[in-house]
């Protein structure tokens, strides 16, 4: 795609929402306007592309959204997009609107949908490219060191746990807190270290309940601690079940808190606003430079754009030395 060929681009948010998505939308729209490119907002992710749910966007329509959580374009998961028939409808929408490129803001599923779309659209001879911007509070996109929304979600969880700790200390109790992270423990471990948790349970480390919970609480109690904080990633087990086992095996009556979707909300932090703004800017420039099927990621503090197929093949492994840090700093001193 040559620079001159890009006249109109679409932008969408897909999958789970993440704080900072609005900042990314704002950046895409204003960068496009600055370059003389028209921008169309596709509402409700890939579903909106199938159903023709769109809105014209301009500089004014994205004013005062950089500080807002959620996404003004809404988001949705779209099983229909997994099928060729669904993608064919999406291609028809692209042709009808005259869209030359799309910036897709989301996670792994969003990018896999983008890749499937561009492969199918190539069969028709229609020229359209997609650039992905990684946004997920799980921070589990293999091709990027950082994803939009992680910092805000972590700070939200930390603030909530700090407040819980106040009452746990007052009553000398145990608290079990479940944070998001169905397949990845990046958020749980980051939060656990930040709040000085007694123990953290993550999907990447097989849970040995006696070793990882019971002995941690016992060691902390022998060290003089009278309150205990257990952080559980949702993919490592149910906080309710963990709490029940603590009661049954140690005789402590824990209080269980599932933070849930509160972690997705709230005004994005400065880091998420700034990162989203840079990523949106680079995504538009990639399209204008004739680059298609790319993902904008971060590497060692800088932005990079990577081939989408190669990016999707990358795996991000949790740095387990962080678990060593947690162990060394735990209340038990182990």
Do 81 and 47 contact (CB within 8 A), yes or no?
Answer: yes
Q: Give the Å distances, CA to CA, from 118 to 8, 91, 94, 176, 252.
A: 17, 9, 11, 45, 55
User: Do 316 and 140 touch, CB atoms closer than 8 A?
Assistant: yes
Pairwise CA distance, residues 25 & 322, whole Å: 33
Please provide residue 230's backbone torsions phi and psi, each rounded to the nearest 5 degrees: -110, 120
How many whole angstroms separate alpha carbon 161 and alpha carbon 241? 19
Of the CA atoms within 13 Å of residue 303, those in its CB half-sphere come to 21
Interatomic CA distance for residues 196 and 223, integer angstroms? 15
100, 108, 138, 212: the active-site residue: 138
87: left (phi over 0), alpha (psi -120 to 50) or beta: alpha
Task: Tell me the DSSP string of 16-43.
Answer: S--TTHHHHHHHHHHHHHHTT-EEEEET
Encoded tokens for 40: 């169309």
Active site residue 305: no
Compute how many other C-beta atoms are within 10 angstroms of the C-beta atom of residue 116.
Answer: 18
Residue 136 contacts residue 16 (beta carbons within 8 Å): yes
3-state secondary structure (DSSP) of residue 115: helix
Tell me the three state secondary structure of residue 316.
coil
Strand blocks (E) in the chain: 8-13, 38-42, 54-57, 101-106, 129-134, 174-179, 199-201, 228-233, 255-258, 294-299, 302-307
Catalytic residues: 138
């Amino acid at each position: 795609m040559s620079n001159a060929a890009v006249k109109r681009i679409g932008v969408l948010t897909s999958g789970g929402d993440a704080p900072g998505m609005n900042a990314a939308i704002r950046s895409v729209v204003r960068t496009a306007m600055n370059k003389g490119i028209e921008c169309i907002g596709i509402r409700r992710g890939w579903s909106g592309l199938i159903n023709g749910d769109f809105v014209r966007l301009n500089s004014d329509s994205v004013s005062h959204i950089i500080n807002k959580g959620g996404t003004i374009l809404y988001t949705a998961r779209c099983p229909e997009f997994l099928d060729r028939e669904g993608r064919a409808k999406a291609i028809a929408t692209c042709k009808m609107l005259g869209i030359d490129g799309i910036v897709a803001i989301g996670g792994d599923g969003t990018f896999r949908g983008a890749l499937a779309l561009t492969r199918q659209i190539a069969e028709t001879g229609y020229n359209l490219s997609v650039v992905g911007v990684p946004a997920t509070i799980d921070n589990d996109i293999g091709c990027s060191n950082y994803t939009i929304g992680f910092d805000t979600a972590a700070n939200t969880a930390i603030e909530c746990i700090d407040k819980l700790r106040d009452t746990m200390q007052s009553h000398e109790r145990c608290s079990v807190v479940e944070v998001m992270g169905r397949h990845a423990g990046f958020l749980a471990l980051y939060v656990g270290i930040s709040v000085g948790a007694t123990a953290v349970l993550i999907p990447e480390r097989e849970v040995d309940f006696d070793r990882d919970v019971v002995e941690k609480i016992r060691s902390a109690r022998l060290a003089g601690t009278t309150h205990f904080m257990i952080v559980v990633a949702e993919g490592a087990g149910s906080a309710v079940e963990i709490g029940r086992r603590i009661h049954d095996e140690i005789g402590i009556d824990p209080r269980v808190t599932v933070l849930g979707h509160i972690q997705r909300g709230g005004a994005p932090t400065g880091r998420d606003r700034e990162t989203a703004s840079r990523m949106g800017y680079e995504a538009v420039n990639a399209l204008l430079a004739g680059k298609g099927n790319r993902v904008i990621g971060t590497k060692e503090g800088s932005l990079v754009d990577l081939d989408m197929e190669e990016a999707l093949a990358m795996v991000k492994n949790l740095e387990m030395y962080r678990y060593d840090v947690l162990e060394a700093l735990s209340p038990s001193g182990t």
